[in-house]
Amino acid sequence: MVTLTVGQRLKTFTVKPFRWLLNAMTLVIGNPIISREMKVRMRFARAFWLQGAYLLFLISIVSLAYQFIVALQPLRHPADLQQRLQGFYYTLLYSLVAIVVLIAPALTASALSFERERRTLDLLLTTPLRPMQILVGKLLASYAFLLLLLVLSMPIVTVCIIMGGATVADLLATFGMVAFSTLHLCAFALYCSACNRSSGAATFWAYLGVAGMLMLTFPLTISEIALGVGGAIGGAIGGPMGMVSPQVVVPLASLHPFAAPVIKAMPTELFGVKIPCWLFCGAFSLLLTRFWLTAAAARLPAIYRGNPVGSIRRQALLLSVLAVLSFDAFLGTMPVMVGPPAPPAGARHDLTLGFLMAVGFDAAFIAFFVPWIATFGEHEGRPPANDGWFRPLRMFQPSASGALPFTLSWFAITCATGIALSVWRLKTQPFWTELLIGIGYSASVLTFFWSMGRFWSASVRQLTLARWLTLGTTVLLLVLPGFSKWSLVYPFVKLVDTFPPADALKDFTQQVSVHGSVVGVLTLLLFLLSHTLRGARIRR
Partner 1 sequence: MLEVKGLRKEFGQLAAVKDLRFILAPGDIFGYIGPNGAGKTTTLRMLATLLEPTAGTAVINGVDIVKQPEAARPLIGFMPDFFGLYEGITVWEYLAFFSEAYGISRRERRQVIENVLELTDLTVKRDAYVETLSRGMQQRLCLAKTLLHDPLLLLLDEPASGLDPRARAELKELLKEIGAMGKIVIVSSHILPELSDFCNKIGIIEKGDLLLWGDVDDILRQLQPSRLLSIRCLDGAERLAQWLSRQPEVASVQIANSKVEAQFIGDDESQAQLLRRLITEGFKVATFSETTMDLEDVFLRVTKGEVA
Tell me which residues in 454-483 interact with partner 1 (CB under 8 A).
461
Among positions 7, 44, 273, 539, the unique one binding partner 1 when judged by CB under 8 A: 44
Among positions 29, 72, 123, 273, the unique one binding partner 1 when judged by CB under 8 A: 123
Among positions 73, 127, 429, 510, the unique one binding partner 1 when judged by CB under 8 A: 127
Which CB, 301 or 346, lies closer to partner 1? Answer: 301
The reply on whether position 77 binds partner 1 by CB under 8 A is: no
Which CB, 91 or 133, lies closer to partner 1? Answer: 133
**DSSP 8-state assignment for residue 251:** G
Report helix, strand and coil shares of the chain as percent, to nearest 5.
75, 0, 20
Region from 186-194, 234-242, 376-384, 420-428 binding partner 1, contact rule CB under 8 A: 376-384
> Using an 8 Å Cβ cutoff, are 361 and 441 in contact?
no
Contacts for 330-335: CB closer than 8 Å, 24+ residues apart:
330/249, 330/250, 331/421, 331/422, 331/425, 331/426, 332/249, 332/269, 332/272, 332/425, 333/245, 333/247, 333/249, 334/425, 334/426
Among positions 15, 22, 24, 40, the unique one binding partner 1 when judged by CB under 8 A: 40
Quote the least distance from Cβ 41 to partner 1, whole Å.
9
Which CB, 314 or 461, lies closer to partner 1? Answer: 461
Half-sphere exposure of 197 (CA within 13 A, CB side): 2
Among positions 7, 74, 78, 128, the unique one binding partner 1 when judged by CB under 8 A: 128
Region from 33-41, 162-170, 315-323, 351-359 binding partner 1, contact rule CB under 8 A: 33-41
Three-state DSSP string of 128-194: CCCHHHHHHHHHHHHHHHHHHHHHHHHHHHCHHHHHCCCCHHHHHHHHHHHHHHHHHHHHHHHHHHH
The reply on whether position 304 binds partner 1 by CB under 8 A is: yes
The reply on whether position 32 binds partner 1 by CB under 8 A is: yes
Q: What angle do CA 329, 330, 331 make, to 5 degrees?
A: 95
Q: How many CB atoms lie within 10 A of CB 28?
A: 12
Which CB, 124 or 529, lies closer to partner 1? Answer: 124
Half-sphere exposure of 66 (CA within 13 A, CB side): 12
Region from 2-10, 38-46, 253-261, 273-281 binding partner 1, contact rule CB under 8 A: 38-46
Half-sphere exposure of 100 (CA within 13 A, CB side): 32
Quote the least distance from Cβ 515 to partner 1, whole Å.
39
> Using an 8 Å Cβ cutoff, are 143 and 185 in contact?
no
Quote the least distance from Cβ 121 to partner 1, whole Å.
9
Quote the least distance from Cβ 44 to partner 1, whole Å.
6
Among positions 130, 391, 425, 534, the unique one binding partner 1 when judged by CB under 8 A: 130
Q: How many residues comprise the chain? A: 540
Which chain residues interact with partner 1 by CB under 8 A?
30, 32-33, 35-36, 39-40, 43-44, 118-120, 122-130, 301-305, 378, 381-383, 461
